[in-house]
Amino acid sequence: MRERDRPAAFRDSVPGADVELAYAGFNRFLKGDEREVDDVDDVEAAVLGVPYDGAVSNRPGARYGPEAIRRASGWWAYISDYKSGLTNMQTGKNVDFGKLSVADCGDVPVFPMDHETTAESITAHVAAVASQTFPVLLGGDHYCTFPSVRGFAEGGGYDNVGFVQIDAHTDTVSESPVFGTDFHGSSTALIADSPFVDYENVSQVAIRGYESPDFFEFADDTGLNLYTMREVEKRGIGDVVSDAIEAAAANTDAVYVSFDIDAVDPSVAPGTGTPIPGGLSAQQALETMEILGSHEAVGGADLMEVAPRYDPTDGTQRLAAYLLVTLLERAFAE
């Protein structure tokens, strides 16, 4: 036997040698196949990372989010590979991860001092994926959602896109005297100003903190579907998210979901750049993704603003991975 053939022979002869431990191997989301963006038409979902945080207004660090989420997701890949079928004790559903084929296309090229070129890169790569399958973007700061939605619409051939935003902030600042027109606080304004999305099909859940003095009037005038944390606590997360997705989906071709991890209370997910107290619990966040993942209109998603260096417990990125897994398993693995 040639020396170069010995590793393959070992893997073939030893049971379990093909099981990749959660902490071993290359970091790929759910240990998915490494693919180029033009070769994902045979998988259920394809992941792209955007290690960019050049548009934040507070603490940087979301550039490290994609790698951290990928690493955290290895646990689900391990247990699903090791066992034949699983029961999700949260949902009570049987999950067949064998139905969930995921490819990881790596990180898109980013340009730390050039947000316009970075945006062009995101749009091009998301469009390529969206033309073939369900795109999943790992951020990165929330500005990156704007070019991702644009790529989702262009690649999917959608004239009208609904947008569900789970977030502490509305990101509807059209222009800031300090940050200009293109930063993570302007992403939803840019999305709603695009040819693909109108405020009537934008739903925002878990909003809290502070906005402009006339913001509620702005929401009424534009038709924005606004669900603050006070409403979540009053009505329950299930009813709120169900209403939010229906409003976003009405008369649109597809819905894009954006989950900013700062929607979750910082006592649970401190690893983010702009934490606001009084947010979603982990349970509420997971239920949110259960509902969104089961809706047939949802065609793409992102998970943004994970800044792992602010959370020494790794809990923030673990929850982020869990949220995406929940969305994808409800969409494809039940």
Higher per-residue confidence, 86 vs 71: 71
Determine if residue 169 is labeled as part of a ligand binding site.
yes
Residue 260 annotated as binding? yes
DSSP one-letter string for 46-71: EEEEE---TT-SS---GGGHHHHHHH
- Over residues 117-168, the pLDDT tens digits come to 889 999 999 999 999 999 999 999 999 999 999 999 999 999 999 999 999 9
Mean pLDDT of 193-199: 96
Task: Judge whether 237 lies within some domain.
Answer: yes
Least confident of 76-85, 111-120, 245-254: 76-85
- Lookup: tokens for 213: 């003095």
Is there a binding annotation on residue 167? yes
Banded pLDDT at 98 (limits 50, 70, 90): confident
Q: What mean pLDDT do residues 95-124 have?
A: 88
- Residue 1 covered by a domain: no
Range of the domain at 173: 23-332
Tally of CA atoms within 13 A in the half-sphere of 273 that contains its CB: 26
33 is in an annotated binding site: no
Q: How confident is the model at residue 2 (pLDDT cuts 50, 70, 90)?
A: low
The verdict on whether residue 295 carries a ligand-binding annotation is no
Judged by DSSP in three states, 127 sits in helix
Does some domain include residue 14? no
- Whether residue 12 is contained in a domain is answered as no
Contacts of 211 (CB under 8 A, 6+ apart): 170, 172
- Residue 93: predicted pLDDT: 84
| 277, part of any domain | yes
CATH of the domain at 257: 3.40.800.10
Q: What is the pLDDT of residues 254-273, one digit of tens each?
A: 999 999 999 999 999 999 99
According to DSSP H, which parts of 86-211 are helical?
115-130, 145-156, 187-192
Number of domains in the chain: 1
Q: What is the reported pLDDT for 274?
A: 93
> Hey, what are 302's tokens?
């992102």
Q: Is residue 30 part of a domain?
A: yes
Burial of 165 (0-12, 13-18, 19+ CB in 10 A): buried
Average pLDDT score over the chain? 90
Report pTM. 0.91
Given a contact cutoff of 8 angstroms between Cβ atoms, the answer to whether 108 and 67 are in contact is no
Q: Is there a binding annotation on residue 125?
A: no
